């Protein structure tokens, strides 16, 4: 068998064929560093980790990039919500470039701590948007020279009517209107590549200001992975607008295919709907640990669901996951070192994980193997440790 992944581009599970045999290039939309990430965000970062670990387990060489959105004014999400400005306001800080940097650096460190606690491997490159302005300007200039841009009073925009393929991700033909409104926009779906700001920001050929949110990911991914790369991931909420805009910018600038496989995780929900900071339902990892749970019990909780199924966060469900995880650790303690990996169970485990990263079924194989008394304890331990290269449960 070979690795199969669900590709949002075709809405089907496809065999994964990398551009360069034996190597995988992958990019994950990272955090906007204006606050602590919530445990819903962590599900998106865990997806990146599972894809990487699975590829490495299968013998592929991985290059992994995740961005840090640390600048922007005029909207750093599809709702046009100004997360960085709201972060500065919340902390009683004046809106200056220096304070933006301090805020961003602080929450970047907190993000690194939270992901490390979940055993999420650090990506090979973690670029900051503030350090890649020149690359963003380069893409906008390429689009400019090809007639894809126009300038209005508040910025430079991408003209979606010039792109016949616009919105191809997930065949999401409707509902792509950018909610960042400006009456001068030519089409509702058009989006900002550069936003003017006379007081703050970076110099550009069009005037001082900030890059649009989408151009940040187009620039940081292609800078480190090349114009075409294998895998791009993010939460499902990013697919309709953010990712379709990334595709439109990148493909029209280079005249080539941007990404082969698009993977999207479903949400962590709470009773009121999707967990979100803006709704006041964003629980952080430290809320979880303060309630007495270990970060890896949360990882175990997430692995119990397939990444394309929604999960509902509740303390009861987390308690059940913590109990199962503790039982797993106790089982490990009762086993012995010195064995070899059981080939039959390894084949079963591989089959599950190769099938679009089916972590719940892979975990079930691990439990069946641990209960199989026909295997010597040392073989069970060696086999479990081998599985843990993918599961990342610190066993």
Write out the DSSP string of 240-289. IIIIHHHHHHHHHHHTS--EEEEEEEPPEEETTEE--GGGT----HHHHH
Q: How far is the CB of 41 from ligand AMP (least distance, A)?
A: 4
**Site for ligand AMP contains 29 (CB under 6 A):** yes
Alpha-carbon distances, residue 358 vs 26, 31, 52, 348 (angstroms): 19, 25, 14, 12
Here's the x/- map for Zn ion, 22-61, by CB under 5 A: it reads as -------x--------------------------------
CB of 203 to ligand AMP, least distance (A): 27
Q: Return the SS3 of 43.
A: helix
Site string for ligand AMP, 180-219 (x = CB under 6 A): ----------------------------------------
- Three-state secondary-structure class, residue 164: coil
Contacted by 217, from Zn ion, ligand AMP, none: CB < 5 to 8 Å by type: Zn ion
How far is C-alpha 365 from the geometric centre of its chain's CA atoms?
A: 27
Phi and psi angles of residue 268, each rounded to the nearest 5 degrees, phi first: -90, 120
Q: Decide which of Zn ion, ligand AMP, none touches 178; Cβ closer than 5 to 8 Å per partner kind.
A: none
Q: What is each CA distance from 143 to 38, 229, 241, in whole angstroms?
A: 35, 20, 18
* Residue of 65, 176, 217, 379 that binds Zn ion (CB under 5 A): 217
Pick the closer one to ligand AMP by CB: 29 or 136.
Answer: 29
Interface with ligand AMP, residue 237, by CB under 6 A? yes
Q: Least distance in Å: CB of 281 to ligand AMP?
A: 8
- 65 belongs to the binding site for ligand AMP (CB under 6 A): no
Contacts 24+ apart (CB under 8 A), 14-22: 14/261, 16/230, 16/261, 17/260, 18/60, 18/230, 19/228, 19/229, 19/230, 19/260, 22/59, 22/60, 22/61
Span near ligand AMP by CB under 6 A; candidates 131-139, 152-160, 266-274, 362-370: 266-274
Q: Are 151 and 206 in contact (CB under 8 A)?
A: yes
Give the binding range for ligand AMP (CB under 6 A) out of 263-271, 316-324, 328-336, 367-375: 263-271
Q: Taking the chain, what is the end-to-end CA distance rounded to the nearest angstrom?
A: 27
Residues 76 and 37 sit within 8 Å (Cβ to Cβ): no
Binding mask 75-104 toward ligand AMP (x if CB under 6 A, else -) reads: --x---------------------------
Q: Which of 24, 247, 275, 335 binds ligand AMP (CB under 6 A)?
A: 275
What residues make contact with ligand AMP under the rule CB under 6 A?
A: 29, 31-32, 40-41, 43-44, 77, 234-235, 237-238, 265, 267-268, 274-276
What residues make contact with Zn ion under the rule CB under 5 A?
A: 29, 217
């Amino acid at each position: 068998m070979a690795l199969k992944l669900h590709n949002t581009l075709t809405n089907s599970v496809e065999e994964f064929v990398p551009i360069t045999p034996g190597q995988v290039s992958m990019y994950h939309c990272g955090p906007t560093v204006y606050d602590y990430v919530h445990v819903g965000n962590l599900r998106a970062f865990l997806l990146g980790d599972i894809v990487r670990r699975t590829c490495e387990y299968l013998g592929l060489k991985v290059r992994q990039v995740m961005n840090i959105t640390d600048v922007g004014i005029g909207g750093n999400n599809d709702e046009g919500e100004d997360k960085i400005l709201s972060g500065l306001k919340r902390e009683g800080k004046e809106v200056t470039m220096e304070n933006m940097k301090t805020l961003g650096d602080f929450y970047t460190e907190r993000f690194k701590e939270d992901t490390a606690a979940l055993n999420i491997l650090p990506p090979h490159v973690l670029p900051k948007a503030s350090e890649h302005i020149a690359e963003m300007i380069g893409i906008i200039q390429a689009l400019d020279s090809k007639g894809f841009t126009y300038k209005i009073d508040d910025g430079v925009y991408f003209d979606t009517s010039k792109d016949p393929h616009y919105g191809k991700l997930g065949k999401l033909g409707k509902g792509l209107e950018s909610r960042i409104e400006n009456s001068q926009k030519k089409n509702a779906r058009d989006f900002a590549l550069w936003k003017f700001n006379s007081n703050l920001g970076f110099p550009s050929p069009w005037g001082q200001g900030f890059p649009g949110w989408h151009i940040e990911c187009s620039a940081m991914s292609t800078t480190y992975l090349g114009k075409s790369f294998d895998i791009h991931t993010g939460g499902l909420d990013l697919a309709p607008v953010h990712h379709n805009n990334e595709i439109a910018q990148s493909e029209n600038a280079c005249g080539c295919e941007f990404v082969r496989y698009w993977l999207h995780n479903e949400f962590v929900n709470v009773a009121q709907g999707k967990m979100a900071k803006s709704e006041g339902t964003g629980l952080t990892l430290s809320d979880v640990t303060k309630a007495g749970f270990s970060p890896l019990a949360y990882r175990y909780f997430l692995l119990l669901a397939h990444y394309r199924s929604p999960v509902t966060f509740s303390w009861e469900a987390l308690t059940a996951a913590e109990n199962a995880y503790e039982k797993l650790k106790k089982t490990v303690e009762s086993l012995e070192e010195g064995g070899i990996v059981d080939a039959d169970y390894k084949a079963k485990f591989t089959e599950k994980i190769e099938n679009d990263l089916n972590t719940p079924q892979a975990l079930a194989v691990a439990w069946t193997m641990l209960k199989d008394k026909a295997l010597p304890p040392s073989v069970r331990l060696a086999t479990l440790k081998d599985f843990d290269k993918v599961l990342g449960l610190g066993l």
